[in-house]
Structure 1
């Protein structure tokens, strides 16, 4: 009787692994935050093209913090009135959807 229960447990355990593999379930999940990719820079280090694009698209926006990644993409923390948000741009001042 113990062997029967043990065998059933092994078979069910094997099915669970097979089902998880068949559905491409990865038990290890790694989350990457956008903030992990960017390094904070001084506002003075923003390229002129990014600053000009911001003035043109959002004249009332104030940059509170700026970040850059290895691809020279810029993340801007901006405030317009009482609203805050993030904008992303490349070094030429083109907006990036993230």
Structure 2
């Protein structure tokens, strides 16, 4: 069941758009610019809160966190590999709760 959940999260995560458009109008024309939806900056794996690593260890035994990034809302984007060779990304808050996008 846990593998089904992580597979679903990975599938949905890959379909999520990472940019949105925002329109700005001035007196003569309307311009459109792309705005990054997720401003995650890479952090050292040691900086990931214990609650997050404990959630990964509990829900995905044997999983390895390969890369971690953090945004201003203290959400972590984790690139994770499972023992069966599959990999994907999860976004969780600092307490280890999955973040819906």
RMSD, aligned α-carbons: 1.7
Match of 1:95 in 2: 98
Residue 69 of structure 1 corresponds to which residue in structure 2? 71
Q: Which structure shows the bigger proportion of residues in strand conformation?
A: 2
Spell out structure 1 runs of 4+ moving beyond 2 A. Answer: 26-29, 31-34
Q: TM-score, normalised by structure 1?
A: 0.64
Which one has a bigger Cα radius of gyration?
1
More helix by share: 1
Q: Which has the higher contact order (CA 8 A, sep 6+)?
A: 2
Aligned residues: 71
Please give the alpha-carbon distance, in whole angstroms, between the structure 2 residues aligned to 1:27 and 1:82.
44
Output the TM-score relative to the length of structure 2. Answer: 0.62
Give the unaligned 5+ runs of structure 1: 1-25
Unaligned runs of 5+ in 2: 1-29
